[in-house]
Amino acid sequence: MSALHKHDVFDAIADPTRREMLKLLAYEEMPVTMISHHFPISRTAVSKHLRILSESKLVSMTKVGRETRYKLHPEALLELKDWLSFFEQFWDNKLSMLRHVVETSTDGEE
Q: How many CB atoms lie within 10 A of CB 23?
A: 11
Half-sphere exposure of 72 (CA within 13 A, CB side): 16
Could you tell me which of 16, 28, 6, 17 has the C-alpha nearest to residue 76? 6
Q: How many CB atoms lie within 10 A of CB 6?
A: 10
pLDDT tens track of the chain, all 110 residues?
A: 444 457 889 999 999 999 999 999 999 999 999 999 999 999 999 999 999 999 999 999 999 999 999 999 999 999 888 888 888 877 777 777 777 778 887 655 54
* The model's pTM: 0.75
Between CA 56 and CA 45 the distance in angstroms is 17
Between CA 18 and CA 9 the distance in angstroms is 11
Do residues 22 and 41 touch, judged by C-beta distance below 8 A? no
Domains of the chain, earliest start first: 9-77 (1.10.10.10)
